[in-house]
A = this chain, B = another copy of it.
Amino acid sequence: MRDRPIGLSFFCYLYPVLLSNIIENKYNIMKTKVSLGIDIGGTNIAYGLIDKEGNCILNDSRPIASYNTPQEFIANLHQEIDQCLATHNVELIGVGAGAPNGNYFNGTIENAANLNWKGTIPFVELLEKEFHLPAFITNDAKAAALGEMIYGGAKGMKNFAVITLGTGLGSGIVINGELVYGHDGLAGELGHTIVKPNGRYCNCGRRGCLETFVSATGIKRTACELLAVENNPSKLRDIPYNEITAKKVYDAAQTGDPIALDAFRITGEVLGAALANLVAITSPEAIFLQGGVANAGEWLFKTTHEQMEANMLYLFKQKVKILRSSLPSNAAIYGAAALVWNELKEA
């Protein structure tokens, strides 16, 4: 062998280049895919990078008031995400957002009363323009249901509902493995089913909606009503209406305050009866309670479950589980991130 053939010589010349490409490709293949989940609330915007197994790489939040426009927020977010991606071995595959009045069909946030960004915001369009990635939006309760399905206790379930209990009552319903959007994308307004005709005034302009009883505000209203109805002593009698909160009612219940305990009992009764009706219509395997009020311990859970069973059609008795969400406290980010995994099913 006098001379090395040209081919081999050329290969030797190229070898380092090929090797680096191979390593880079291999490196790319090994990158963990993550989804960016954004939870838009009246006070804060929280966001996180989460992989399909639920590992959270970034978890942050900003006051929404810091940004005059959604464009400003999205540009800032993009910078922060890019910095994070540069230092982690991850690949961003899409962006999901959960927002009050988030319209999945239109990709918009529409006239959300509690946001300082007014009008109809083409949020998905803005996200896609900035990130050059697929983006999706839905309302917060629907995102919560997807979070439960992808990351939480509803994994593998085909029929379930998630009830979010916060300032209001939201619901996300999954049937045959698919989130129920309905004809116009707005299904799942369980909080605005009327449970007491001519009952309490609701922000929606009608009376007797479920969320006027079952929500943080509902619990406060029930407690105040009980102060008038009952004669029991209560710590709550020394607090003006405007300063009573569901948290204060909860704290009072913890000390055995009879009015506070009754307020939770009544809330559970109304919710249990409403869930029995929801079961008759949709026949879920389980109903998950999520959100601040849902964390109020056994006060709410026990009565809700008892009253759901008491009001249940015999066909469904002892069949439907009431479960606490198993997602972490930043569940809303998980829900928004889950939206991406649900849409890009092959990812």
Hey, which bits of chain A sit against chain B, CB under 8 A?
A: 158-160, 171, 173, 175-176, 178, 180-190, 192-194, 197, 204-206, 273, 276-278, 280-285, 311, 313-316, 319-320
A315 partner, pick from B186, B285, B320, beta carbons under 8 A: B186
Residue in B183, B188, B204 whose beta carbon sits within 8 Å of that of A159 in the complex: B183
The answer to whether B273 touches A189, judged by C-beta atoms less than 8 angstroms apart, is no
Cα(A84)–Cα(B236), bound, Å: 78
Look across to chain B and name the residue whose beta carbon is closest to the beta carbon of A191: B280
* Complex contact B159–A194 (CB within 8 A): no
Residues of B within 8 A of A193 (CB): 277, 280-281
Grouping DSSP codes into helix (H, G, I), strand (E, B) and loop, the A interface class, with mixed when no group exceeds half, is loop
Given A183-B159, A186-B315, A273-B194, A281 and B173 touching (CB < 8 A)?
yes
Instruction: Select from chain B the residue with minimum beta-carbon distance to A190.
Output: B281
Shortest CB-to-CB span from A173 to chain B, Å, is: 7
Complex Cα distance, B194 from A164, in Å, reads: 23
A285–B159 Cα distance when bound, in Å, is 22
Give the docked Cα–Cα distance between A189 and B313 (Å).
Answer: 9
In the complex, the 6 A-B pairs of residues with the closest C-beta atoms, listed nearest first: A182-B283, A187-B283, A193-B277, A183-B285, A189-B280, A159-B183
Closest chain-B Cβ to A311's Cβ sits at a distance in Å of: 6
15 contacts between A and B (CB under 8 A): A159-B187, A173-B281, A175-B175, A175-B180, A175-B187, A182-B284, A184-B316, A186-B316, A189-B280, A189-B283, A189-B315, A190-B280, A190-B281, A192-B313, A206-B313
A176 to B179, CA, bound (A): 9
The interface residues of chain B lying within 8 Å CB-to-CB of A188 are: 281, 283
Q: How far is the CA of A311 from the CA of B280 in the complex (A)?
A: 21
User: A204 contacts which chain B residues (CB < 8 A)?
Assistant: 313-314
- Set B159, B184, B273, B278: member contacting A281, Cβ < 8 A: B278
Instruction: Name the B residues within 8 Å of A176 (CB-CB).
Output: 175-176, 178, 180-181
